[in-house]
Amino acid sequence: MRQFYRKFHMKRDKKQKIAFITGVTGQDGSYLAELLLRKNYEVHGMVRRSSTFNTTRIDHLYKDPHKKGVNLFLHYGDVTDSNTVYKLLGEIRPDEIYNLAAQSHVRVSFDLPEYTVNTVAIGTLRLLEVIRDLKLESRFYQASSSEMFGDAKPPQSEWTPFQPRSPYAAAKVLAHQLVGVYRDAYGIFACGGILFNHESPRRGETFLTRKVTLGVANILAKKQDKLYLGNMDAKRDWGFAPEYVRAMWMMMQKKKADDFVIATGESHSVSEFVELAFGLVGLNWKRFVKIDQKYFRPTEVDFLQGDFSKAKKILGWKPKVKFEELVKIMLNSDLKKVGLSLKIN
């Protein structure tokens, strides 16, 4: 994929900003690529090699690089492969780097702790080291997470001490702290966006919210008869992913690099989410939901609720989509996906 870029890069409008996104094929990466393309960025996405297609979330953005006016370029790469990261960043020299790549499933991080730490923490270090070594002037965004707060009492803000409860969260803490170290030690413009859960129709199907909305749609379409879930008492602050990627971009446009909590400020339990999703299509969730111990984490995080007042004050960011609307957006998308014409208003 890279040779196309070399050829077309020469014709680039010099004022056009260049962004590099790791994790471009993920939920956030796809929305961020859309946002940056709308803003006329030249966008470079790192795609990991897979034996099955992993670009479905960005297929609608992809254009034949032989054609004129192409602004999206994809490159094979992996955050566990320093050599490729070095070559890509040295060649592209982006104005902005968004590090979204991760083994991002908290429960899975207990099964794959070493791989999770390698992608999440050491992957971040690799990128920061390349910026330092090549003396790039790139701005850097790190996808930090509310999971870092773990057991800390809500509401959690930028000043709340981290108490991670999973390999994923511990790796995100290390990555977040490295961002602070590289910012202070080397003057790199590096931001940590501490994002609380954010969901969308593009959320992976094994993540709780999507599992529920797709499960409800499948049950209604008679393609599934039970939905197996884990901890129904956990409380989360759920927002809408497209609004959260806008916050990432806003952080990167400020004069000074900083860390920001991005959240809705509201928290709801898993059972509230489930009850609402089933209730919206007239089903009683108790008839369909079964608890399976395998979905419980060895150490749970009970209550996350973000205080986004710093982002509101400094970035002028605030969420518009709240809990009920979010559930409706996801449910409507999944009802359509399974072939039902029902639409929830």
Ligand X SMILES: NC(=O)c1ccc[n+]([C@@H]2O[C@H](COP(=O)([O-])OP(=O)(O)OC[C@H]3O[C@@H](n4cnc5c(N)ncnc54)[C@H](OP(=O)(O)O)[C@@H]3O)[C@@H](O)[C@H]2O)c1
Asked if 86 is an active-site residue, the reply is: no
Task: Confirm if 246 and 205 have CB atoms less than 8 A apart.
Answer: no
Does 103 contact ligand X by CB under 6 A?
Answer: yes
> In this chain, which stretch among 42-50, 133-141, 220-228, 311-319 interacts with ligand X, using CB under 6 A?
42-50
Asked if 62 is an active-site residue, the reply is: no
- SS3 percent helix, strand, coil of the chain, rounded to 5, is 45, 15, 40
Q: Could you say which of 30, 109, 144, 145 is catalytic? A: 145
Does 213 contact ligand X by CB under 6 A?
Answer: no
Residue 290 CB contacts under 8 Å (≥ 6 apart), including other chains: 226, 227, 228, 229
Q: Which residue has the tokens 């870029």?
A: 5
Does 119 contact ligand X by CB under 6 A?
Answer: yes
Q: Which is nearer to ligand X, 139 or 172 (CB)?
A: 172
Asked if 141 is an active-site residue, the reply is: no
Of 248, 238, 300, which is closest to residue 269 (Cα–Cα)? 238
Q: Which is nearer to ligand X, 48 or 107 (CB)?
A: 48
Residue 326: Cβ within 10 Å count: 24
Which residues does residue 228 pair with via DSSP β-bridges, in sequence order?
A: 290
Does 329 contact ligand X by CB under 6 A?
Answer: no
- In the list 143, 191, 227, 248, the residue contacting ligand X (rule: CB under 6 A) is 143
Does 310 contact ligand X by CB under 6 A?
Answer: no
Q: Could you say which of 96, 147, 199, 243 is catalytic? A: 147
Residue 184 CB contacts under 8 Å (≥ 6 apart), including other chains: none
Does 79 contact ligand X by CB under 6 A?
Answer: yes
Residue 131 CB contacts under 8 Å (≥ 6 apart), including other chains: 89, 97, 138, 140, 182, 188
- In the list 195, 208, 229, 277, the residue contacting ligand X (rule: CB under 6 A) is 195
Residues classed as catalytic: 145, 147, 168
Point out which residues bind ligand X (CB under 6 A).
Answer: 22-23, 25-29, 46, 48, 50, 54, 78-80, 100-104, 119, 143, 145, 195, 197-198, 204
